[in-house]
């Protein structure tokens, strides 16, 4: 799935990267949405991004597997080359409690707390 950079419509936003997720449960396509968005972040030297729960609304992707794909993909992207040094912050924005519960389960698995 592709991603593209858009000019912001608000002066508060610096850049917007837009991606359209898959309809239904298609892990490889969802993974590419996150990966391609992160590659655009890198290409344009952006330091942070916020991801909504891509495809979990009207597109019907189940919440739990979508959260797993999102967190795992971001972790793998950060671990590739020097990507982790290029980003200050990545935020997963959860509007629904079900999404928050899923991310709270998956984040510690892929981003264990520092000891």
46-104: pLDDT as tens digits = 999 999 999 999 999 999 999 999 999 999 999 999 999 999 999 999 999 999 999 99
| Residue 17 placed within a domain | yes
| pLDDT of 4 over the 60 cut | no
Q: Report pLDDT for 14.
A: 75
CATH number of domain containing 41 = 3.40.220.10
| Residue 90 placed within a domain | yes
Put simply, whether the predicted model's pTM sits higher than 0.75 gets the answer yes
> How many domains does the chain fold into?
1
Tokens representing 24 are: 């239904």
Contacts of 19 (CB under 8 A, 6+ apart): 1, 2, 3, 4, 33, 34, 36, 37, 54
Q: Report pLDDT for 1.
A: 61
Q: Please name which of 43, 65, 51, 64 lies closest in space to residue 18, comparing C-alpha atoms.
A: 51
| Residue 37 placed within a domain | yes
| Residue 87 placed within a domain | yes
Average pLDDT over residues 101-112: 97
What tens digit of pLDDT does each residue of 29-53 get? Answer: 999 999 999 999 999 999 999 999 9
Contacts of 4 (CB under 8 A, 6+ apart): 17, 18, 19, 40
| Residue 115 placed within a domain | no
| Residue 43 placed within a domain | yes
Q: What confidence tier does 111 reach under pLDDT thresholds 50, 70, 90?
A: very high
Residue 40, domain extent: 3-110
């Amino acid at each position: 799935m592709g991603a593209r950079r858009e000019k912001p419509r608000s002066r508060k936003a610096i850049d917007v990267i837009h991606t359209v997720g898959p309809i239904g449960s298609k892990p490889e396509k969802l993974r590419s949405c996150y990966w391609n968005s992160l590659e655009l972040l890198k290409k344009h030297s952006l330091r942070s991004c916020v991801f909504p729960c891509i495809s979990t609304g009207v597109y019907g992707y189940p919440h739990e597997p979508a959260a797993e794909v999102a967190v795992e993909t971001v972790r793998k992207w950060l671990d590739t080359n020097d990507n982790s040094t290029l980003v200050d912050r990545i935020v997963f924005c959860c509007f629904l409690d079900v999404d928050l519960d899923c991310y709270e389960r998956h984040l510690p698995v892929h981003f264990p707390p520092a000891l």
